[in-house]
Amino acid sequence: MAERSLLDDILGEGEVSGIVALPDRRVAQVQESVMAGLWRVRFTDASGARVADYVEVAKRLDGVPGVAGIELNISCPNVGKGGLQFAIDAGAAAEVTAAVRRATDLPLLVKLSPNVADVRPIAKAIAAVAQP
């Protein structure tokens, strides 16, 4: 949550924003940043879970000279699901990893959580979708 707060502080909020309800029951929130040319797009699914913050950052880094890969830290709490960490649920971990994979061809290093009894099913779910 501290990481999301820092990101919110850095990006700030410009004067323009909008919210769009999509036919598939997802909601898109578009917010102008205080940085020129940078817009933040967040998608939430029907349960309120956000995955697009990861995707938008991945899209911004794809093709930037000097960026060799992306560390996807999925062990941070997902505010939209009451603090659930993506990294402790194999389905959620695979879903967010697949969303980032669709957004970039950069190598992905997915940071898992030590707060699980057995990390192997989660790692296997991620490995199934992480390769380009």
Share of the chain above pLDDT 70, in %: 60
User: What percentage of the chain has pLDDT greater than the value 90?
Assistant: 12
Residue 121 pLDDT greater than 90, yes or no: yes
pTM exceeding 0.85? no
Q: Which residues contact 76 (CB under 8 A, 6 or more apart)?
A: 1, 3, 4, 85
Better pLDDT: 77 or 57: 57
As given in the structure block, the two tokens for residue 43 are 């998608």
Active site residues: 76
More confident residue, 49 or 127: 127
